[in-house]
Structure 1
Amino acid sequence: MSALIQVREATQVFGTRTIFRDVSFGIDQGEVFVILGGSGCGKSTLLKQMIGLLPPTAGEITVASYSVNTQVEEVRRHIGVMFQSGALFGSMNLQENVSLPLAVFTDLPKEACAEIARLKLGLVGLTEAASRLPSEISGGMVKRAAIARALALDPPILMLDEPSAGLDPVTSAGLDRLILGLRDSLGTTFVVVTHELASIMAIADRCAMLDAKAQGLIALGKPQDLKQTATDPTVRAFFHRETL
């Protein structure tokens, strides 16, 4: 069976600066796949390529057999995105935020959009917060609401950019459980960008590690295997929290 997402020799260059080159991997349906690495290695840049926000300088990325280079609208129909900050609209309550994609991209009546939004908020444990503004809830709740909005159109793939950033360990662990629960109950494929080691070990089926110095992919596999058997000093340092 072919991979749901296929990255083939993806390269990104800005002017004379190479962020990464020749990055290749596949992501299977139902996987939680983590893109990790130190700051400045190109994690979020690669995610933007996969979403279709940033055309690769070279290489090809396909999502559900659609090319991000030439079929970006079809690609985006298969993807829901949670940005690092949550990116909720501050003037809208949570139900209105989650309803927005339905209002824009479907012909459903307003009442149906609102009911679906309530159901999605229920999936992330925010039923009672539907009428609150983003400024009235915690950072962890903002992240959950952003995931609910990403689920609004029932995409088979969710892409999360630093979902644990700025969260305390307990809240972060709760978000990890939510991701695994959604994968198990909905069959959703997750692509998660993070450098949070605890989350990586808790949720990742496989991971790809980028490195700024190497300008590309330096490790690919199950996080437990990389922690135990990796010989690359950068990979070992990351998984064992050591200095180089």
Structure 2
Amino acid sequence: MHRREVRDPVVEAEGIAMAFGSNTLFRDVSFGVERGEVFVILGGSGCGKSTLLKMLIGLYEPTAGRSRILGQDLHAAESDARRALLAKLGVMWQSGALFGSMTLLENVMLPLEEHTRLPPAAREEVARVKLGLVGLSDAADRLPAEISGGMAKRAGIARAMALDPRVLFLDEPSAGLDPITSAGLDQLIKDLARDLGTTFVVVTHELQSILAIGDRCIMLDKQAKGMIAEGDPRELRDHATHPTVRAFFRREAM
């Protein structure tokens, strides 16, 4: 498998392995994410995509190998250094993970309350700007139960952006959405990457989204227990020789 040299990486993985007891999920996973790109982690169900994301943001300790965010080893960082590094990351979980008893505005303000000393008026102003960036200015006072699934995903992205992170991690942003809503969310991700220069790491198995937003990708495989492809997703669609990669991108049965 060809591995491209990455200049100025903001996310790096070197020989990463994850195992739960005797069950090895993946091993020898190495890649780098360049500043400002939309990088996609893809693969079929059960291959370890979301687990890899959780490892990169420090929720899981790798069984082997190491990872770095913005040049620092998150797993080795302690106390204030770890908190400072985590503040440079934003995460949107699969469902949006909004607090149901809080309005969208209050949800987006929460990281600002926890991690900054901004006065309430300034926190509200920042939160309204973030909601505006994702097209939810008119929904600021709604509760999560009062909005659609697509709006909840957008609100989750707004909250992830509250602290102006250097890297945004999105876990299955298009899952469960209709094609039109999914296409709108894809466009939002592309617009934010272009306009804000934010680096995105996106976990998904949605083929149309992968091709729409991905600058580069890696593909994990459950059978191989690791990476089986890396590169531009459109190049992989058109020129992949690995049978599993070819089947994935061409929607072929195996």
TM over 0.5: yes
Which aligned segments of 4 or more residues in structure 1 are displaced greater than 6 angstroms?
A: none
- 1:155 matched to which residue of 2? 165
CA offsets 1:137-157 (integer angstroms, 9 cap, x no match) = 000000000000000000011
- Displacement of 1:18 after TM fit? 0.2
In the alignment, residue 94 of structure 2 is paired with which amino acid?
Q
* CA distance in 2 between partners of 1:73 and 1:105 (Å): 9
**Are 2:58 and 1:48 equivalent residues in the alignment?**
no
Note if contact 1:60-1:68 (Cα within 8 Å) is conserved in structure 2: no
- 1:66 matched to which residue of 2? 72
- 2:124 matched to which residue of 1? 114
Aligned partner of 1:37 among 33, 43, 48: 43
- 2:222 matched to which residue of 1? 212
In the alignment, residue 218 of structure 1 is paired with which amino acid?
I
In the alignment, residue 90 of structure 1 is paired with which amino acid?
G
Note if contact 2:88-2:163 (Cα within 8 Å) is conserved in structure 1: no
1:8 partner SS? strand
Structure 2: stretches of 5+ with no match in the other structure: 1-6
* CA distance in 2 between partners of 1:57 and 1:139 (Å): 35
- 1:201 matched to which residue of 2? 211
Aligned partner of 1:240 among 218, 238, 250: 250
- 1:226 matched to which residue of 2? 236
Identity %: 62
* CA distance in 1 between partners of 2:136 and 2:8 (Å): 36
- 1:9 matched to which residue of 2? 15
- Displacement of 1:74 after TM fit? 3.9
- 1:94 matched to which residue of 2? 104
Structure 1: stretches of 5+ with no match in the other structure: none
- Displacement of 1:179 after TM fit? 0.2
* CA distance in 2 between partners of 1:45 and 1:63 (Å): 16
With structure 1 as the length reference, what TM-score do the two structures score? 0.99
With structure 2 as the length reference, what TM-score do the two structures score? 0.95
**Are 2:27 and 1:21 equivalent residues in the alignment?**
yes
- Displacement of 1:11 after TM fit? 0.3
- Displacement of 1:38 after TM fit? 0.3
Note if contact 2:8-2:35 (Cα within 8 Å) is conserved in structure 1: no
- Displacement of 1:34 after TM fit? 0.3
Distance 1:167 1:238, change over 3 A: same
